Amino acid sequence: MPRLLIVSPYGTVAGGAEQWLLGILHEGALARAGWEVDAIVMQEGPLRDALREESVTTIALTIPASPVGIAMRVPSLRRAILARSPDVVVGNGVKAQLAVTMALAGSRIPTIWVKHDHSHDRALARILGQRATYVVPTALEVGLPTGRTDAIVIEAARPPEPLPAHDAKQELQARGWTPERRLTLGTITRLVPYKGVDLAIQALADPGSEQWNLLVIGGDDPATPDESTRLGTLAENLGVADRVFLAGAIPGAGRLLTAVDAVGVLTRPGQPGAPTKEGYGIVASEAMMAAVPVVVAQSGPISRRLDTPEGPAGITLAAPEPPLLAQALHTLSADDVRHRLGAAGRAAAQDFPTQTDIARQFVDVVERARGGR
């Protein structure tokens, strides 16, 4: 039985990269094709248990996410990988692929880099891309910095149906959400500075945004454990704390987006080594399934997806700046505008690939890597 080993950099299950991976494993195509799957996670966290629930033998190695930290743990990672005698190794993200590339230097084991975002593009994308057997970006633009003309794009699958709006609101209210204004901008994200939650808080303070609340679903990231405190302090200083609710991490949060009136995907440049823009952005697809318009901070894969045959499904800002976001919120204050954009998104989402489609594509790449094709 061939053996696939997956290396994942984080312990969380909330990120788009982790959801992409878990969706493929849950679909079962790898098992049906006869593959035995192991995993190494580079941080402790709920992902280990989630992988085990998918019958994936999983160990956690505490490996710092920085290049220097990874380099220091290369010998132990190499031993852990080789002990499992994998036929193919998958690096699920740039930090995982960096670790895999360093650990397997001199080895002939084929590797697949699943590239989800634009982090470390300038420093690492071409190097890692050249050394991987296959590069699998989750959006066309995400793969371009690798220089690989044979990259195989495998997007995220169509999200599941969301909850009815009434049920979604009830679940959030049970967690303490009591919106003070008529309209709510929602976002689902890890709390790290480059995700732009502060952009939304600043936009809320604009005089034209009085009708809007902000709902933030997501927990602190280990790399920035004080981000929620920083955001809360910012909201207090700007006088909008009563309109900002930090809900923390909620499993399956995408199903709750029917409770909000717009969804923000606000990734922006600014944090060293972090993505300069969003990659595929699964939250945007979840919003489209929920018939909720999307506001994206800058052009990229999401803005391309929002340009649907039925018309725009959201608004792309000219730049990730609070006044421009406030202007977008003012536009979305009109019920007819929100309904028109939401309907276009919902119609387009029906044509997104299914989880079965995605899983079959991934199995094909794994088989190619094993066969040296």
Query: Ramachandran region of residue 338, left (φ > 0), alpha (ψ -120 to 50) or beta?
Result: alpha
| Residues 318, 236 share a domain | yes
Are residues 315 and 277 both part of a single domain?
yes
370, 88 Cβ separation under 8 angstroms? yes
pLDDT along the chain (373 residues), means of 10: 95 84 96 97 91 95 84 94 97 96 96 93 92 96 95 95 97 93 94 93 96 94 86 97 95 95 90 72 96 95 94 96 97 98 97 96 98 73
Span 257-298, pLDDT tens digits: 999 999 999 998 766 666 777 888 899 999 999 999 999 998
Residues 148 and 177 occupy one common structural domain:
no
For the chain, percent of residues with pLDDT exceeding 90: 82
Q: Give dist(CA 106, CA 84) in Å, integer.
A: 17
pTM given for the model: 0.89
Residues 182 and 52 both lie in one domain? no
How many other CB atoms are found less than 10 A from the CB of residue 54?
18
User: What CA–CA distance (Å, rounded) separates 310 from 293?
Assistant: 13
Per the structure, how many domains does the chain have? Answer: 2
Under DSSP, the state recorded for 152 is: -
Q: What tokens does 232 get? A: 């809360």
Can you give the residue range of the structural domain that contains 174?
165-349
Q: Which amino acid is at 285?
A: S
| Domain at 78, CATH number | 3.40.50.2000
In this structure, the answer to whether residues 152 and 177 fall within a common structural domain is no
Question: Token pair 């600014």 is at which residue?
Answer: 270
DSSP-derived letter for residue 353 is: P
- Do both 307 and 183 map to the same domain? yes
145 and 175 both lie in a single domain: no
40, 147: one domain: yes
**135 within 8 A of 159, measured Cβ to Cβ:** no
**Torsion angles phi and psi, residue 189, rounded to 5:** -165, 155
Closest CA to 57 of 84, 30, 33: 84
Same domain assignment for residues 295 and 247: yes
Q: What is the pLDDT of residues 104-114, one digit of tens each?
A: 999 999 999 99
Residues 180, 228 within the same domain? yes
Closest CA to 227 of 210, 249, 207: 249
Does residue 124 sit in the same domain as residue 53? yes
